[in-house]
Chain A
Amino acid sequence: MPGFDVLVVGAGVIGAACAYYAAREGLHVCLLDREDATSGATRACDGDVLAIGQAPGYKSRMARVSQELLSELVSSLDGDLDYKLRGSGLVVEEGQEEFALDWAKRLEESGLPVRYIGRDDALRSEPLLADDVAGMVECDSDSSLNPMELTYSMIRSIRRTPRCEARLQNDVVRILRSGRGQAVGVELASGDRVLGGVVVIACGVWTPRLLATVGREVPIHPRKGHLLVSERTSVMARRKLMEFGYLAAKYDDMPPIDVPDEMQRLGIAMVIEPTGHGNFLLGSSREFVGFDTASNPWVLELMSRRVLRFFPSLARVRMIRSYAGLRPYTPDGMPIVSPVEGTEGLFVAAGHEGSGVALAPITGRLVSEMILNRATTIPVEPLALGRFSGTSPISTAELKEV
C-alpha cells in the first residue's frame, strides 16, 4: 500500500482547499470523504465571499487576504464558478446608524474598501429596498461564486496532479498513530487503511468525532441555518445584501435587532443574494438544534416576514425550495486551523461557521505552510486549537442561550 505525504479528510470546500494547496506544493495528497464531495455545510450554504460581516481586525484581514487568494485561485481552475465581484451591502435601519458607522470605520481601518452611504444613495443603488431604511454599509471587494463548483474544480485539479487522489465514498472512522504518538494514516469503515505522514481533519461539524479517536475534544457545534430559493426572476437585488442586524444574530457583543422574541431566538435576519442562474437565495436563521437539517415551516415563515420588511415588493415572487444545513460553530467565532498537540502530523481545519467559502483559500494556504514548516501568510496563533484548552466543553443547554 503506497503511503501519501498528506491525507485530508472531508471533501467540503475547506478540505478541498487544503488538499488543493498541498498538491500545488508538490506534496502527494489523498482527499477522502465518506460521501460525494460537498455533502456537508458546502451543499447548504450560499455563495458569499464576504469580508463585510467579519469582525473588524484579525478576522476581517483574514477574509481580505482570502479574497485576494481566491481571485488567483479562480483564474487557475477550470469549471464555471460563476465568480462575480459584485460587492455587498449591510442594510441599516433607523437606530442602528451609530453602530453601523463605527463598524464601517473599523472595517475601513483594517484595510477593506468599505463606506457608509445614506438612505437616498442606498435606494438609488437598490431600488426595491423599503424606503424607510436609514442607509447602507458597502464593501467593494466582496464577491460571490458557486461554492460546490469551486470544490469540484479543486478536486478535478487534485486528480490531474501526479500521485494525488480524491477517494470519495471512503468513510474514515479513525486516525491511526504510531507508538510514538505520530499520525501515520487513517482507518476506513471497510477496515482498510490509508497511510500518510500528515493527516488533516476538515470535517466541519463532524470534526469532533474523528478527533475523539485520538482523545482530543474540539469545541465545534452544529449551528443550523435555513435558506429559501426563489424561482428565476428579474433582479430583486444587485448584489448580496444583509440587514445590519445580521451581525447581532452572529455576534454576541452587538445590540439585538428590534424584532419579536421568537425571531431573536431563531436568529432571524434578512439576507438576499442573486445566484448565477437567476434564482435568488433568501434567509436567514441561526439556531442550535443538534444535527437536525429538516426545513422548519415556522422558521421559513418568520424569514419570509423579515425579508418582506426590507423588500415589501417581493410579496408575489414565488419560492420553489428551502434547504437547511449545519454551520460549524466555535465559541469565539474563529475557525480552528491548527496542529493538534500531542499527535505529531495531525492538523485540524474546521469551525468556520458561516464563512467557510470566504476563508477556504487562506485556510488551504495556511495548512500547507504549517505542514511545510514555513512562515505563514498571516499569524496563526488566533486559530490555534490550544486556545480552548482548559475550558470545559459547552453544554447544549448553554448553547441554546447564545
Chain B
Amino acid sequence: MIDDDVIICRCEEITAGEIRKAIGEGARDVPSVKRRTRSGMGLCQGRSCERLVLRLLCEETDANGELLRRDRVRGPLLPVSLGDLAGDSTDAGV
C-alpha cells in the first residue's frame, strides 16, 4: 500500500492521495487520472508515473492493469523545440 503523501508524478508533484481522490470521483484509466490530476502532463510525459498510476487504479478498482487504457503515444516523444518541429528554420516565415 502506497501512503497518500507519496509523490507519484514527480514532474507535476502529484501524490497518491490526489490520484486516489480522482479515482473516487470517476477516473478509471490512465488518461482520465491525468485529466483530473495532471499526473503525466509534465516534462517526462508519464514515463515515470504511468506504472504507479496503473498500480493505484488496480488497487482501488480491482481492474486488470493489462486491460486498462494507457496514455496515447503522441509526438513529440521528447521535448522538441518549436523551430525543429517547424522543419527548415530558414523557412519559418511561411
Q: How distant is A376 from chain B, measured CB to nearest CB, in Å?
A: 32
Instruction: State how many residues of chain A have any CB contact under 8 Å with chain B.
Output: 46
Q: A interface, by DSSP: helix, strand, loop or mixed?
A: mixed
Indicate which residue in A38, A232, A304, A315 contacts B35 across the interface (CB closer than 8 Å): A38
B26 touches A318 (CB 8 A): no
Interface residue tally on B, bucketed by range? 20 to 34
Which of A100-108, A190-198, A295-303, A330-338 makes up part of the contact surface? Answer: A295-303
In the assembled complex, 14 residue pairs joining A and B whose CB atoms fall closer than 8 Å, in A order, are: A36-B32, A37-B26, A39-B31, A229-B41, A230-B82, A277-B38, A300-B76, A301-B85, A301-B86, A304-B87, A315-B82, A315-B86, A321-B45, A321-B76
Q: How far is the CB of A319 from chain B (nearest CB, A)?
A: 6
Report whether B79 and A308 are in contact in the complex, using a CB–CB cutoff of 8 Å: no
B interface secondary structure, majority: loop
A314-B75 contact, Cβ under 8 Å, with A36-B27, A37-B26, A305-B87: no
A322 and B74 within 8 A (CB): yes
Q: Which of A28-67 contact B (CB under 8 A)?
A: 35-39, 43
**Which residue of the partner chain A has the closest CB to B29?**
A36
Residue of chain A at shortest CB distance from B92: A308
Q: How far is it, in angstroms, between the C-alpha of A304 and the C-alpha of B88 when the chains are bound? A: 11
A375 at the interface (CB under 8 A from B): no
Q: Please give me the residue from chain B that is nearest to A307 by CB atom.
A: B82
For A38, A228, A319, A321, the residue with the greatest tally of chain B CB atoms inside 10 Å of its CB is A321
Q: Does B36 have its Cβ within 8 Å of any Cβ on chain A? A: yes
A118 on the interface (CB 8 Å rule)? Answer: no
Q: Does A323 contact B (CB under 8 A)?
A: yes
